[in-house]
Every structure is written in structure tokens, then in C-alpha cells.
Amino acid sequence: MSRPLSSRTTKPIIPAEPPVIEIVNLVKGFNGRNVLDGINLTVYRGETLVIMGASGCGKSTLLRCLIGAHRPDDGTVKLFGKELWGLAPKELDAVRRRLGILFQSGALFSSMTVGENVALPLKEHTDLSPEMIDLMVKVKLELVGLREAEHLLPAQISGGMAKRAGLARAIALDPELLFYDEPTSGLDPIMTGIIDGLIMDLARTMNVTSVVVTHDLKSAFRVADRMVVLNNGKVVTVGKPHEIRSCPDSFVRRFIQGPVEAKTAMFPKSAMDKGLDDVLDAEDAAQHVSRLREALAKAESEGRAAEVLRLKKELSTLESVPSGEGRGG
Amino acid sequence: MDVLLRFLGAIGHFGSVWAEEFGQMGLLVQRTMKSLPRMRPEPVAVQMIRFGIRAIPIVSLVNLFVGMIVAVSMSEMLISLNAVSRTAQIVAVAVTRELAPLMTGLVMSGFAGAAIAAEIATMNVNEEILALEAGALSPIRFLVLPRLLGVMAMMMCLTLIADILGMVGGYIVGVYMLDIPPLNYIQINNDSVKWPDIPKGLVKAAAFGLIITVVACRQGLKADGGALGVGRATTTAVVHSIMIIIAANLAFAILFNWTLAGP
Ligand SMILES: Nc1ncnc2c1ncn2[C@@H]1O[C@H](COP(=O)(O)OP(=O)(O)OP(=O)(O)O)[C@@H](O)[C@H]1O
Ligand SMILES: [Mg+2]
């Protein structure tokens, strides 16, 4: 990679400053299998880096290494020029106070309301008055469209709301560095647009450095200054969005253009429709059978022999069809 | 030969697992003590209510019955010795010296230990612990410290309640079933309680509270693997804390009865 200039020219890059994130030859494995196998990445101030890769390829693991939750098996991770695993606990906390992270699961504190979740970092790390904190909480929740959920417990809100609440908590302290683990998964298209807008706003107006893990290509290309594609624990390619689009690597091409083709290849449309038809058929058939049975009973009680015979015959051909309750068993 | 080796290997494995476990728990205690200066009173109070106030009914009932059981099971022997009024003495000594702290500890292993382990393990598998750490908030100070102080304090209060209810249990059996005159019973009871046994019991209670919380927090903090891991952490916490409490109780018995008092 040559000098990674921001695609948005308004962002100043101060060369003297160390990169915000510097990952060198990072290796991390579980149970003898290397999930991350020699990752090299550098992220500069104000940049938005999007990380893409197949599900289970280690993106969340990479983020955990970046916040010092996993000890790397090899290599180094530096944030703000400081090697994470060389820091004393106090220094590590000082670094962590400068970053925010949105976990893939939201990871809200389940014993606290949404508002208390957002308030916690403010209460613990600032000297703000309770009224001021209250105001800040409302502002942050407003940003993610959750103003009305302030007093609900995490168990009482939906997955998408939990994710947005997690985002509100992550930005509570106005961090310089933000990690987003799939910020828009589980959100509707409108909310996805709002969250993408928020990510871009934070980057633009507050000069926040962002690392975004996402599977959503549309939002990836929308927010990214640079993108990286991971595969088999390695960086396949790094580049600006247009470079990624025209990347000749076959894995990247499949990844960028694949979704539509891959889907149709795996689930041919005819097969999917057929599956649906089967379900509908079974439903109809069950109803039909019960209607026939009713008619049969009526015919029998009224002694219409020909009718009874006809209905019995029709029923016997249908009986093999699973009935209403038995369906799917 | 092979069997012997395997047996020794199993013992070695068992030993090293427990050594590791105790080492980790010691570390946890040390780190918790370090965060003591930054303690806040409200979270401790919350835990005291959760695990103390709410445990009063069950601790009371268990110890009432334990006092009654001791009285009933000793009665036949005492009647044959023509010393039925000594029931008061036996119950008073047994309850204050051993049974009240021990039974309270065992009940609280289930009541508080299981709850703490399940709670922290769930937070762990939901990445809440990670979220705390990532936010530069220490799970030790946030979760372990208030529970530790709350449970230790409440163990002492509950043991006092247990002392009283154990003796009440003995009184009920002695007075209403063995026909000991009430004043006589109370007189003997008060004369035979060894008053230093009460503070010694409180020391034990605090130690058991420490054991319960540290074991539970340790299991919760190392839990992984979803709901299964939470279940495993909870069971292990209860089993381990019961075992360690019993062993500690033996150590206290030796210390208080032989070492400090002279054999
Ligand atoms: N604590 C752990 N213990 C064992 N294996 C783990 C652990 N954490 C992650 N893994 C393994 O590491 C691999 C990468 O996991 P990770 O969660 O980082 O994937 P991901 O890229 O974030 O996937 P997704 O896009 O589905 O979120 C997985 O195969 C997983 O089985
Ligand atoms: Mg992930």
C-alpha cells in the first residue's frame, strides 16, 4: 500500500503523528488453529477503514485483539503508538478511555436500563453533574433514534435497538477511535442509512478514526475511506473503494459481486419456489381433506350412497397427504 | 504398575488443577483488595439486600430446624442419663460453635454463590465483561468487590440470626416436647453458651462469605460456551464452595479447639 491518503480531502493528515492503529504480523489462534495468521494493517487518524471477510474468518477476533482483550500469539498491536501488551493496567485503561467499541451482540449491561448503559462511562470517567450526564445520554440516544427507549431494560428491546443502544454507549465519551462490529446488521434500510450517516458524521466532524466490520456492501462502500478484505487469516487486499471494486483477485471479486450470483447458485430460484409451493400445497390439502370429511359425514347421515362412495374414493387418494397438525413432522 | 502410574497421574492432575484454581482465586482476592480504596457504598448495599435480607427467611428456617434436630436426636440419650434439661446446653454449644456458621455458609453457597456465578457467567458469555474492560471499567471493582463485601457482611448478620434461631429450635423441642420448664431451659442455655464462640462464629462466617463469593466470581469470570457454560459455572461454584467451606470449617475447628485453646 502506498501512502493511504484519505479519499475525503478535507481531512488533514499530520505526518509526524504515529498511526492510530498499527498491526504488525498479528497471529491469533484457538485450539491450535490460527484464525488470524499474520495480519499487517495501519490505520491513520480520521480514516474510516472497513473490514470485510467471510463469516467466521476472524473479524471480531481482530477487533478483540485491538482492544487488548485477546493476547496475540505473535506480532504486535499498537494503538496511538503504544504497544498494548507492554502497558501497565493503568496505561491500558488510559488508552481504552480514548476508544469506543460497538460489539457485534451489542453487549449491553443487562441489569441496567438503556439510559444507564449510556450514562455509565460518563459517570465513571467524567466529573459531569448528574443533570449534565442526563442531557448527554438523551443526546446520544437521539443520535441513534432511541430517545423513547431510555428507560427500557436490554431484555425489553429488539436486537436492532440493542445494537443502536450499544452504539450510543460506544460514543458516549466522544472517543477518538471507534470500532464497529457489524453496526447495521439487523437494521432496516432506513435505520441502516441513519447509522451509516452517523458513522460518516463522526468521522467528518469529530475527526474520529473508525474501523467498521460489515457484511453490508452498500454501507461498506458508502462509509469507507479504505477497505480491507480478509481470508484465511490473511489480508487479501487493502485499498480505496474504487481499487477494491476493480481488484482482480478472484476471492475479492466473488466477495464484492458474488452475493447475487452465489445466492442463485446455491438456491436455484425454482427450488426455492418449489419449497414454498410444497408448504402451501400441504396447507391447502389439509383444509381440503377436512372439508371432504365434513361432506362425507353429512352425506352418510342423509343416506346418499353415491355421494358417500365418491367422497370416500376421493378421500382415500388424499389421505396420504399429511394432515394439518402432522405437517412438518 | 500401569494402574499405579495412572493413579498417581490422576492424583497429580487433581492436585495441579486445584493448585491452579487456588492460585487464581488468591489472585482474584488480591486484585479485589487493591480496588478496595475505590469502593462505593451503594452497590455494596444493593448486594447486601439481594443476598442478605432476602436470605433471612431460609436461613432462619434451616437453623430453626437444625436446632430442633439436635434437641430431638439427643433427647433419648439424655433421658436415659436422667439429664433431659441438658438439652439446652448441647443445643446452645453445638449451634453457636459449629452449626449456625456452617449451615448458614452451606445455605448461602446455594443462595448467593449460585446466583453470583450464574449472573457473572451470563455477563461473560454475553460479552458484557469484555464491554466493561473495553470501557476501562474494572469488572473486579464493579462486580466482584461489592458482592464480596456484601456477602461477607451479610454472612455475619445471618449467622447471628442463625445462632438465635438454632437456640429457639432447641427451646421449642425442650419445652414443648420434652417438658423442660421454660425458665430452667433459658437459664441453662444462657449459662452454657461459651460467649467467645459467637465472635469466633462470626469470623468463620466472614471467611465462608469470602469463599462463596470468590469461588462464584472465579467460576463466572472464566465461564465460556454459552448457556451450557453458565450452567457449568453455576454447578461448579456451588460444589466447590461447599467443599472448601467444609474443609475450612475443619481447619477452624482444629484452630479454635486445639491450637488456640491448647489440646
Ligand atoms: N474464544 C474462542 N474460542 C475458540 N474459538 C474461537 C473463539 N473466538 C473465536 N473463535 C473462532 O475464531 C473464528 C473467527 O471468529 P470471529 O468471531 O472472529 O469471526 P467473524 O469474522 O467475526 O465472523 P462473523 O462475521 O460471523 O461475525 C471462528 O471460527 C471461531 O470458531
Ligand atoms: Mg464477528
pLDDT digits (tens, 9 = 90+) for A228-259: 999 989 999 999 998 888 888 888 888 887 64
Q: How far is B6 from chain A (nearest CA, A)?
A: 26
**A59 CB less than 6 Å from ligand 1?**
yes
In 3D space, the residue among A308, A83, A261, A68 whose CA is nearest the CA of residue B130 turns out to be A68
CA–CA separation, B215 and B217 (whole Å): 6
Q: Domain-by-domain residue ranges, chain B?
A: 39-254
**A57 CB less than 6 Å from ligand 1?**
yes
Its domain, for residue A272, covers: 264-319
What ipTM, to 2 d.p.?
0.79
Q: Which helix (H) or strand (E) holds B80?
A: helix B56-80
| Neighbouring residues of A189: CB distance < 8 A, sequence distance ≥ 6 | none
- Regarding whether A204 and A89 lie in a shared domain, the answer is yes
The answer to whether residue A179 sits within a structural domain is: no
- Regarding whether A141 and A25 lie in a shared domain, the answer is no
Supply φ then ψ for residue A33, to 5 degrees: -110, 125
pLDDT of residue B262: 53
- Regarding whether A238 and A156 lie in a shared domain, the answer is no
Where do the H-state alpha helices sit in A175-304?
A: 189-205, 217-223, 241-245, 250-266, 269-302
The answer to whether residue A88 sits within a structural domain is: yes
- Regarding whether A93 and A117 lie in a shared domain, the answer is no
CA–CA separation, B168 and A299 (whole Å): 79
Average pLDDT for A126-148: 93
Q: Total structural domains in chain A?
A: 3
DSSP letter string, A173-194: T--SEEEEESTTTT--HHHHHH
Q: Vertex A223, ends A222 and A226: CA angle to 5°?
A: 105
CA–CA separation, A190 and A153 (whole Å): 24
CA–CA separation, B21 and B219 (whole Å): 10
The answer to whether residue A245 sits within a structural domain is: yes
> Are the CB atoms for A225 and A193 separated by under 8 Å?
no
Domain CATH for A236: 3.40.50.300
Confidence of residue A281 (pLDDT cuts 50, 70, 90): low
**Partner residue opposite A103 with nearest CB, options B122, B123, B131:** B131
- Regarding whether A88 and A223 lie in a shared domain, the answer is yes
> Are the CB atoms for A95 and B133 separated by under 8 Å?
no
Do residue B127 and residue A105 have CB atoms under 8 angstroms apart?
yes
* CB-CB neighbors (< 8 A) of B127 in chain A: 103, 105, 107
pLDDT at A214 over 60: yes
- Regarding whether A201 and A87 lie in a shared domain, the answer is yes
Residue for grid cell 469470602: B210
Q: Of A303-317, B20-34, B97-111, B128-142, where does mean pLDDT reach its minimum?
A: A303-317
Q: What is the pTM of this model?
A: 0.80
pLDDT of residue A199: 92
pLDDT at B1 over 60: yes
In 3D space, the residue among B131, B65, B98, B149 whose CA is nearest the CA of residue A100 turns out to be B131
* CB-CB neighbors (< 8 A) of B131 in chain A: 101, 103, 107-109, 169
Number of C-beta neighbours around residue A124 at 10 A: 16
CB pairs under 8 A between A and B: 48
pLDDT of residue B114: 96
pLDDT of residue A319: 60
**A6 CB less than 6 Å from ligand 1?**
no
Ligand 1 atom 8 nearest Cα: A61
Question: What burial class does residue A208 get, using C-beta atoms within 10 Å of its C-beta: 0-12 exposed, 13-18 middle, 19+ buried?
Answer: buried
The answer to whether residue A326 sits within a structural domain is: no
Q: Which ligand is nearest to the CA of B223?
A: 1
What cell was used for B175? 419445652
* CB-CB neighbors (< 8 A) of A109 in chain B: 123, 128, 131-132
What is the edge-to-edge ordering of all strands in the sheet holding A33-43? A33-43, A21-30, A74-79, A82-83
What cell was used for B15? 492436585
Find residue A229's DSSP bridge partners. A52, A237
Q: Which of A126, A153, A174 is the last residue of a domain?
A: A174
* Distance linking the first and last C-alpha atoms of chain B: 42
The answer to whether residue A189 sits within a structural domain is: yes
Average pLDDT for A155-181: 93
Number of C-beta neighbours around residue B234 at 10 A: 23
Range A266-281 burial, b when 16+ CB lie within 10 A, else e: eeeeeeeeeeeeeeee
The answer to whether residue A299 sits within a structural domain is: yes
- Regarding whether A159 and A199 lie in a shared domain, the answer is no
What cell was used for A232? 484465511
> Are the CB atoms for A186 and A197 separated by under 8 Å?
no
The answer to whether residue A104 sits within a structural domain is: no
Q: Which ligand is nearest to the CA of A28?
A: 1
**A32 CB less than 6 Å from ligand 1?**
no
Give residue-wise pLDDT tens across range A81-117: 999 998 998 899 999 999 999 998 889 999 999 999 9
| Neighbouring residues of A190: CB distance < 8 A, sequence distance ≥ 6 | none
pLDDT of residue B254: 93
pLDDT of residue A1: 44
* CB-CB neighbors (< 8 A) of B136 in chain A: 92-94, 96-97, 124-125
In chain A, which residue's Cα lies nearest the Cα of B124?
A107
Do residue B136 and residue A93 have CB atoms under 8 angstroms apart?
yes
Q: How far is A106 from chain B (nearest CA, A)?
A: 8
Do residue A110 and residue B135 have CB atoms under 8 angstroms apart?
no
Average pLDDT for A300-324: 70
The answer to whether residue A29 sits within a structural domain is: yes
Supply φ then ψ for residue A324, to 5 degrees: -50, -55
